[in-house]
Chains A and B, each alone.
Chain A
């Protein structure tokens, strides 16, 4: 039996490692951005890469009757982007489909 307790463990190691811990924080960030005029855009960042985002976006587009796309980001991975303020819709849909738990969802914006 080795004495594992005595190994030094830095609880902040993850935080110091880099800014990319946003991807690993286990949260799904749902944001809204204003475009020109009254138009808005909803982005969903942090969905597990195990999911097929293309399938998800296809289902969302149909469900919310809006356009959408998947954007490959070097830092944040695949990000879902939907037209309009779909924050309510996407929250409900993700919960209902079991892709994310309610406490994993972090909704930003006004």
Chain B
């Protein structure tokens, strides 16, 4: 998933920044007149909020104890430290690398976003429960991808609902095909089921449906027969002949269960999936969100004897 990559990427970026900072730790710092640096930055980037300068001041006070904080940074709840650490890093780094001004500025923007959102989160932490926390974490990741426009404008805290709405808007903008919230319609022709005589049923467009679902006919066949507790085979006209009497509605039900288990992604419900066999287990690999999960193996299980017992006895002896 894209978010995953980002979340992996985030800490490493912070770490890099941190390392750079520690090298500057001793000689740079206060004398440089960091507040003015910050002022430059705010001029360059109009997105910076008014509270930024205050932030930097706090950071400068905190500079001596950075060594300790570095160790803690992995923990998600050490937000205050993160807050204070990030802006100062960049301010210290910037004068040393004037050539990479643009690049630094970009990452600076990024960091600011991060710290700001983190801060928001921290303030609300006591009210919101853990689930909300998670949601917000996601929100932040999304925020980071996006350039922040509405955040810099004011000092007020955004409500949880506003944040949530924003995440979903961004998610929809970025992934119009993703089934977040809206269910994606999966259009398929209904199965054509015809009775043959009194004891058999024909599933005429069986092969066609296998093609629409991108599944091996054998796999679907195994499933159908196991679920219906009967036997059958594909004939010359590529239709499936099933022993027993079944109505279209009933076949449809079984097909629906098959699609739910073996076709649509269990995470995002996208039908764009691949079924792979790996060490006796089937795995469903999603092409949309990249999730991969094992699916139940098809077992017909116990089969009761339903035929004429005399005939079976005759066959076995």
Contact = CB atoms under 8 A, between A and B. Distances in A.
24 contacts: A12-B279, A16-B279, A22-B299, A22-B301, A29-B301, A31-B301, A33-B230, A33-B304, A34-B229, A34-B244, A36-B306, A38-B245, A41-B304, A41-B306, A43-B304, A71-B302, A71-B304, A73-B302, A76-B301, A81-B304, A109-B228, A110-B227, A110-B228, A110-B254
A43 B229 CA distance: 10
Given A22-B299, A22-B301, A110-B228, A35 B279 contact: no
Interface in B101-154: none
B250 interface: yes
Q: Classify chain B's interface size.
A: 20 to 34
Contacts of A61: none
Given A34-B306, A41-B304, A43-B302, A109 B229 contact: yes
Interface of A: 12, 15-16, 19, 22, 29, 31-36, 38, 41, 43, 45, 71, 73, 76, 79, 81, 108-110
B246 to A, nearest CB: 6
A76 B302 contact: yes
Q: Which of A16, A76, A81, A108 has the most CB of B within 10 A?
A: A108
B251 A45 contact: no
Contacts of A34: 228-230, 244-245, 306
Contact of B306 (A15, A35, A45, A71): A35
Given A31-B229, A110-B227, A110-B251, A15 B281 contact: yes
Nearest to A29: B301
Given A33-B304, A43-B304, A19 B299 contact: yes
A16 B280 contact: yes
Nearest to A38: B245
B253 interface: yes
B226 interface: yes
